[in-house]
Each structure stands twice: as structure tokens, then as C-alpha cells.
Structure 1
Amino acid sequence: MTKKLHTYSLVTFLLIFSVLTACKEKNSINQPVTSEEEKDTVPVLMTGEGEMPTTWIDKTTGHQLKKLTSEGNNRSFYFHNNPFVKAKNGKDWLMVFYKNSKKGNQLYSINLTTQEQKAITTQPGKKRGEIVGTKSRKVFYTLNDSVFATHIDTQKTDFIKKLPEGVSVGTNTLNASEELLGGVVATEEEAELFRNNPKKSDYFNLIYEAHLPRYLMTINVETGKLTKLYRENAWLNHEQFSPVDPNLLMYCHEGPWHKVNRIWTYNLATGDTTLIHKRTVHREIAGHEFFSPDGQTIWFDLQIPRGETFYLAGKNIHTGEETRYQLERNEWSIHYNISPDMKTFAGDGGDRSQVAHAEDGQWIYHFTPNGTELDSEKLVDMSKHNYDLEPNVHFSPDGKWIIFRANFEGDTQIYAVKIEKHKA
């Protein structure tokens, strides 16, 4: 009798465990809704028409969406800043994001499997920068006049550096060895121009035309030492370290894209600067550049000339070979991104006010290379989204979902759309 009771207890435990595991997987953005019963319960809705449920099928595209955040205003990272790090269990993935609160914006993590959210920062004030160290498991950011790092799991915060007074300065990237933060140092004169002209439409040409000195710089995360690397009387911006080479820093000449040869790299070991793409015709533009995950290619939006012919282009930094995939006007996106396996791309579309002036461009796209072109698939109807907020697409670490931010419900929230079309 005792042996039977023990057998029944074991069976009961295994049944409960399997149910809990199934529930966990069902809530994960990495798991499709598979059972027939669950398929029937997922509503088919026009995206952005009223408050959206946690999960729905976009009526226009047939793709499944999940709402990852719901309270207050929440923002995912800028398109080329990696937000992902493995959870402590080594299996799940965490995504770091910004949540607005009464104490200013705070950095949070969300477990993409369990949907559990945890605060990383709590100190009041606006944080700037969005840098995740996947090895150190720290988030680096600027608060007021200083740079800090907070551990994702323990929330232990380290002071790194008090920034120089009276200048415009910021850190925007972390090198592959996670020893150096990269950024720029400007002048008090430039900082004053920004203060007096807070809107981008006001300062953009002013800063470009001023030709004030800027330095590329690094900050050692252990010692706090600030090193000025390279100076130009130009608006140096958009700094990104290579994901694999700790000595390679990409930066841009900011300003009106049709007036600048924008994309450059700087080698910390040699001091060499390299132009990635040189304009060839009047009003040609190249920008919104980003590294491939293997660090071999720099991808960018290329238009020859501006607003007429559209490409997603990539330059191999070792061979110099340039790849171009042509897109239709409506397929042009403010930002593109590349999948973890580097086989496909995503785009966040754009409204009529953007450079492409697309009549039907408000979509989240998935792109697949086909010869010299990209085949596109519309994933999310973004017609209810105000593109003053750029969606900034990211592939999920498993490559099955595209994560973006949107305001089609009023507040800004973070969503994920499944690349594989929902099977009715």
C-alpha cells in the first residue's frame, strides 16, 4: 500500500510539473501558440484600434503579436544597441529596457520566457545611454554628470567617472572586451547651442555648420581614465564599437546626410581612420549604420540619390566589397536590423513625412535577400502609430520574433511580432 501511495505521489508531481512547464512555455515569446484550443482563443484584431490584449493576431498581416509591457510608458533600446543578455539560469533571455517612473526613467529587465520584470536602477534622475555588457552582466549609463554601471542581477551600482564640467560629453558604446566605454567630448560652445536650441529641427544644421571641435574618447571602466583619441572640427556622433574587435570604433560625421561622407571607423591600436562609403553623385546619402553580429560587415541605409532609389547596403571591412539590396519606396525603413544568423533583415517602415515620402510605408517588415533585391513581408500594420516615435526594430535572440516600440495604444509600449505567420 505504501509503495502504491509513493507511486501515485510521483505521478501527481510529474503531472503538476509538466503543466507548470507548459504554462511557462506558453507565455514565452520564444514559443508559438500551438494547441487548437489556444489558437481559437487568440483574437484577430486591427492593430491599434483601441486597447490591445496581451496577445492578438494582426488582422491585416496574419502575424501574432505579444505585448511585452503594459504599465506607464516603456521604451526598448535604439536599434543598434544590444538589449539582450542570458538569464542566470543560462537558458532564458533577458531584455533590458527603460520604464518611466516618478523618479525618472529607470532601467528594467524582462525575462522573455516568463515575462517577469525586475528593476535594475532605482536612483532618481534621467539616465542617458543604453549599454549592456553581456560578459560583466552590467548596464552602463550616464546620470547627471557621472557615468555608472549597475549589475543586472544584484543591482549593485559602481561609480565609474565624473564627466568634465562645462562641455558636452557622453558615452554610447562598450568595446568587445568590456574594458572601455566609447563616446565623444565636445566644447562648452556646442553645449550652449544645444541648450538654446533643444529641438532637433533647430539644432541640427546649427551644430553641423558650426564646425566646432569634437573628440572621440574612451573611458576605462575600471579606473575611470578618460582618453581623447581623435579630434576633428566636425560633428562626430553615432559611436559603435565592433562586437568582436575591441580596437575598432565606428563613428559618423553627423549633419545633413547629403552633405557628408558619413560612416567612418577609427582603430585604437593604430590611430587610423577609414571611410566606409564615399558618396558618388549629388544628394547621395548613407546612414543609420550598424555592425553585423560577426563584426565583418557594416550595414547602412543607402539612397542614390536621396529619396529616389533605395538600398540596404553592407561593406565588408576586410575586403572592401560592398553588397547592395534594392527596396521599393514603400519598403524603405527608418532603421534596419539583421537577424542573429545574418540571413534576413527587419525594418520599421516610415510615414509620409520621412525621406522616402512613402504612401504605404507604415509597417514592421521582414526582409529576405533574393539576388540583388529584398523580398519583403509585412508583419505589423503600423497605420495607427505616430512615427515621431521611431519603432527601432530588434530580432529576438532566437531569431523568431521582432521586437519594437510603438504608441498605437496611446502610451509607448514594447511589442513582439512572430516572423512565422500564424496558422489558423
Structure 2
Amino acid sequence: MKAVAIGDRRKLHVHEFADRVTGRTIRRLTDPQELSHHPYFYNRIFTADGSGLVVAIRREGRRNLYLLNLEEQEELQLTDSDNILDFSANLSPDGRALFFCRGNSIVRLVLATLRESVVYETPEGWVGYDNPGLSADGEWIATVEMRAEDRLVSDGGWVVFEAQWAARPLCRIVSVHLPTGRVRIVHEERCWLGHPQPRPGDPATILYCHEGPSHRVDARLWLANAADGAIRCMRPQQPGEMISHEFWLADGSAVACVYRQQAALGSGGSEEVVDPATYRPRTESSELRELLLKIDAVTLAETPMMESSPYCHFIANEAFTLAVGDGQTSEAPYLYAANLLERTEEIVCAHDTSWNAYGTNQDSHPHPAFHPDERRIVFTSDRDGLPAVYMTTRP
């Protein structure tokens, strides 16, 4: 294949087929002979008008960022460099710029000109390794840094996951004011930290997590105040509970997450109703139970939205009335559309991904996300070869 460079365009070879379960039309947007995926599922990955989708594609051994024009069915190459953190790409609220990580730099790329500028550089002795969180007003970006000597080398799989947790690395949350370049060290501790996300409407409040295997983490969800450095645990956890893949509601009122526990079967084999505010795991024979949970940002009051199939990730629309999640068991290799008001879900299609790592442990995760029209859904799967980007519509 001819080498391409920043600004080059080429046609997409879109392939359409009927889903094997629902018959719904699925469109494969990228070539399954080239590893590709979209950025992290709660990032802003579509342009404001919905015509453009940011993706990462590996070519000639390097992962770079591209903008797919869904109407013209062509791709525009945005970057041409090494060491890009390909899941980190995040469009600004006005859609004019793309923020991403390259090495220890956070870079702003202006889409109209394709010109780059470095907005923050991790200092010597530290490494930036996680996806930065961009505030809803586009003025702040939060990132997590780890002391370089505490960072364990990984082949991109899960083998090092528990070892990195056990190392108790020195980590810190950094908040950068983009208009001025002012930097604030918000919080620092000897714990593996991740997923920094400024609160919509209140970017001084940053959601972050204690990262690591679910059976090792003391409590997943935390809030840090950039003004005074105060931290707050959003939800203490009991043995057997797991919380993951959290994100802010669009209005900043609450945090949503996947909640799991081993729930015992009730009398006569019927399943007991799970209330995450009061239920604690027991030692009897059990089965996996899962909830979509909402936690108030101020009072920390919990609202179980609905029981769900075993999603690995889920994301909601802006009104928090609809959600899409990816089933992660071999018995349920599906995307699900959930109505959060009616507490119902339907199978959208089979994603049929293997969940295998191809250099990073997220490469083939579906990470479903809504198109701005809230009808279309984008996801990643390696069903046809290497991970590729697909799009379908919800019921």
C-alpha cells in the first residue's frame, strides 16, 4: 500500500451485511486487514454535525488518527508520527480541534488547518499514560501521571495489570487550563489512578478511579477538588462488588457506572431483587448480577437504573434516557440497547468480538457509542480479522 501523510484522503471501502441475530444492517467502515478502532467510548468522537468520526488505524507499524467522512465515505489522515496514545483522541466541544496524547505531550490539532500545538508536557521523571479528560466547556483538560520508575513495562495484555496495582505507583492528577496554560497538581498518592474526567459545569471537580483488578481495588470511584485538593470517595465497596467504566451524565448531576456483584439465588430458585444501596454479597451458590447504577455527585445517593445483561461498557445519551452496552460473555456476544425510563433492553446485533489484545488490551473491545442522532451506534470488533470499526442502528 502506498504510504500516506497528513492531509491525504482516500475512499472508504464500506461493506454492508445483515446481522446474524437480528437481521439489522451493519456497515463495516474500515478494512479488517488493518487494525483500527475508535477512541475511548466516553470521549467526543463525532464531529458536531455527525458527518465525521475519529478513528485510529495502524499502518506500517504505527497507529495514527484519521477522520472518516461518513457522507462522502472517505478518510482524512490527521497525524503522521510515532507513539500516539490512540484511544486518547477527544474532539473539543465546538468540534474545531482534536486533543490527543503523543508520548508525554498533550497535543491540540486544529482540524481546519491540521496544525498541531503542544498544550502540556509531562515533566521529566513522570510518564503520562492514561486518556486525558476534556471539560465540557473545553477550557480544562485533566490527566494522570505516574512516576516513571514505578511504571511497569507491558506487552499490551493483561498480564501486568495486577503487578502494576501491587507496585503502589506514585500517581498524580494534573489539571491544565487550556487558554492560559496554567497547571494545577490536584492530587497525589501511592495508588494506581486512572480515568480523570472533569465534571460538566464544574471542571474543578474531577472524577477519577483507583485502577487495578476488581478484587484488589479498595474503592473505584473518587472525586478530587482542584481548588483545595480535597478528595472524596463516592462509594465504599464490599468484597464481591465491582464498579467499572464510569462516566459523568451530560448535566454533571451524577456519575453512571456498571455495578456487579455475586447475588445469591432466592428461595425456590428465583432471583432476588438487587438493591445496591443495601445488598451485600453472601457465600451461598451464586450467579453474576449486574446493574446500571447512577450516583448523585453531591449527596452520593445511589439510584439503580435497571438490571442488565453482562455489559463490559455502557454509555448513555445526553438526556440519560437511552443506553448502549456490550455483552462480554461467550453466551452473550451482543450489543444491547437499553431504555432507562422503561428499564428494558433489546439486542441490537452480535458484535462477535474475541476481546483479544493486539498490542494494547483494549484493541478489540466493542466500546459502543452513540452517533449524535442517537439512532446510529459505532463499535469495534475483530469478527472479520483484525479489529475494525462498524456502525449499525438501534431498535
Q: Shorter-chain-normalised TM-score: which range?
A: 0.7 to 0.9
> How much has 1:363 moved relative to structure 2?
0.4
Change (3 A) 1:92 1:228: closer
How many angstroms does 1:350 deviate by?
A: 0.7
Which of residues 281, 288, 291 in structure 2 aligns to 1:311?
A: 291
Which position in structure 2 is the counterpart of 1:379? 348
Aligned to 1:362: 333
Deviation by residue 1:179-215 (Cα, 9 ceiling, x = unmatched): 3321122213212xx12x4454332222222223211
The percent of aligned pairs where both chains have the same amino acid is: 22
Give aligned pairs, total.
348
Identify the residue that residue 181 of structure 1 maps to in structure 2.
141
Contact 2:104 2:128 in 1 (8 A): no
Displacement of 1:158: 1.1
Higher strand share: 2
Whole-angstrom distance in 2 between the partners of 1:298 and 1:154: 36
> Does the residue aligned with 2:387 lie in a helix, a strand or coil?
strand
C-alpha displacement at 1:150, in angstroms? Answer: 0.8
Cross-structure match for 1:110: 68
> 2:235 maps to what in 1?
277
Match of 1:349 among 323, 327, 334: 327
1:163 and 2:122 correspond: yes
Q: Tell me if structure 1 keeps the 8 A contact 2:84–2:102.
A: yes
User: Residues 355-374 of structure 1, C-alpha deviation per residue, up to 9 Å, x if partnerless?
Assistant: xxxxx211011112366xx4
Measure the CA separation in 2 of the matches of 1:287 and 1:215: 20
CA contact (8 A) 2:368 2:379 kept: yes
**SS, match of residue 288 in structure 2:** coil
CA-based RMSD: 2.4
TM-score, length-normalised on structure 1? 0.76
Question: Which amino acid in structure 2 is aligned with residue 85 of structure 1?
Answer: T
- Partner of 1:58 in structure 2? 19
* Local SS of the residue matching 1:207: helix
**Can you list the C-alpha shifts for 1:123-148, whole angstroms capped at 9, x where unaligned?**
x2131122221236211222234332
- What displacement does 1:393 show? 0.5
In the alignment, does 2:202 pair up with 1:240?
A: no
Higher helix residue share: 1
Residue aligning to 1:33: none
Letter in 2 for 1:59: R
Query: How far did residue 218 of structure 1 move?
Result: 1.9
Residue 327 (structure 1) aligned with residue 307 (structure 2): yes
Contact 2:351 2:366 in 1 (8 A): no
- Aligned: 1:340 with 2:308: no
Per the alignment, residue 8 of structure 2 pairs with none
Q: Give per-residue Cα distances to partners, 1:159-191, cap 9 Å, x unaligned.
A: 233322232224611223323321122213212
Any residues of structure 2 matched to 1:87-106 within 5 Å, and which?
91-102=49-60, 104-106=62-64
Q: Does the CA contact (< 8 Å) of 1:94 and 1:109 recur in 2? A: yes
Look up the match of 1:79: 41
- The 4+ residue runs of structure 1 with deviation greater than 4 A are 222-225
SS at match of 1:308: strand
Q: Which amino acid in 1 is paired with 2:138?
A: E
Give runs of aligned pairs for residues 140-289 of structure 1, distance below 5 A.
140-170=99-129, 172-191=132-151, 194-195=152-153, 197-259=154-216, 260-279=218-237, 281-289=238-246
From the superposition, tell whether residues 272 and 401 of structure 1 become closer, same or farther in structure 2 (CA, over 3 Å). Answer: same
SS of the aligned residue for 2:64 comes to strand
Q: TM-score, normalised by structure 2?
A: 0.81
Shift of 1:269: 2.8
Where structure 1 has 5 or more consecutive residues not aligned to the other structure, the ranges are: 1-51, 353-359
Gaps of 5+ in 2: 1-12, 264-286, 357-363
Mapped partners of 1:181, 1:165: distance in 2: 20
Cα distance in 2 for residues equivalent to 1:92 and 1:213:
40
